[in-house]
Amino acid sequence: MAPAANNARRVHFDLPLSPASTISSSGPRTPSTGPSYARHIIPLPAVSPDFPSINLPVYPPSPIFVPIYQPFYPLVPAPAPVPSQASLRPQVQVNLKLAAPGPGERALVDWDLWMRPSKASERRAGGAQAAAQRYAGLSSALLAEPATTPGVAQLTLSVAHPNFQWTIPVNARGEHVTVDDVLIALYDALQLPVRTAEWREAERARIDKAIAKSFRDRCRQVPGNMTPQAAEQLGVKRIDYLTTSRLFAGLEVANSECGAKYGEVDGVELRLQLRDV
């Protein structure tokens, strides 16, 4: 037996659909294309296909200014440059009485290095007449003056020679090296006898004859009670290597270095200048 549902008769209603019936609860509204929808269409006015042409002015493109953000940095003064170690070195100067003079001038101390420092004489600074006047020996005040400014506890004297380079250490007997310390150290060093190697070097340089002549001349003029024969027994000394260039002509700074601490001066070297008799 067939199911009862197959015996049910279907009824078809040909009614116009209302707009509300097209709204679905689960989807968007779908417009109807039925006769009723067509009656609600509002026709648009007729549009002419030709539009009047309008001439608009043409302007050149304007530049576009884009602001750039620049951070503001306050003006801060630059730090002061740190002085180098070399710039912290104090400038060492020789005592004016010992300093080497300029061209055409003579040193303020007259001293023949054959003689002891007590035989040196001091010259006046000034005109030709004043410079010709001499004192008997060097004053005790001058001998006590510092040999350099600033004063140093030690220094080195160098004796420039065409064939030899002698260096003489000078140590202060007091607080600083004095003029007296320098003159005594120089005299004592030049009174040392020459070594065999130095004499052989003089022979190779062919100055041994000039040195031998200087040696004999010095022995004949040796001061005091010593006889020339006794002086010759002492042999050739370094002073004889200077030959005729044995007059003191002043000192000049050859080298000046500063230690690790400011104001600590070491390594000062003074160079001896000589002139002919």
- Kindly report, residue by residue over 176-186, the tens digit of the pLDDT: 999 999 999 99
**228 in any annotated domain:** yes
Cβ proximity of 255 and 81 under 8 Å: no
The arithmetic mean of pLDDT across residues 34-60, rounded, is 60
The pTM assigned to this predicted structure is 0.64
**63 in any annotated domain:** no
Spatial neighbors of 147 by CB under 8 A, at least 6 apart, are 94, 95, 98, 155, 170, 176, 177, 178, 179, 181, 182, 270
**How many domains are there within the chain?**
1
Domain that holds residue 248: 93-275
**251 in any annotated domain:** yes
**54 in any annotated domain:** no
**244 in any annotated domain:** yes
**66 in any annotated domain:** no
Q: Where are the beta strands (DSSP E) in 95-213?
A: 109-110, 121-122, 148-149, 154-160, 165-171
* Residue 71 tokens, joined: 């951070």
pLDDT, greater one: 162 or 244: 244
Provide the β-strand partners of residue 149.
93
Least confident window among 59-73, 83-97, 115-129, 205-219: 59-73
**1 in any annotated domain:** no
At 85, is the secondary structure helix, strand, or coil? Answer: coil
Q: What is the chain's mean pLDDT, rounded?
A: 76
State the Cα–Cα distance between residues 138 and 32, nearest whole angstrom.
139
The arithmetic mean of pLDDT across residues 189-194, rounded, is 94
Indicate if the alpha-carbon torsion angle 230, 233, 234, 238 is positive or negative. positive
Residue (of 81, 135, 85, 71) closest to 108 by Cα position? 135
The arithmetic mean of pLDDT across residues 78-107, rounded, is 77
* pLDDT at 69 exceeding the cut of 50: yes
b/e burial code for range 42-54 (CB count within 10 A of at least 16 → b)? eeeeeeeeeeeee
**212 in any annotated domain:** yes
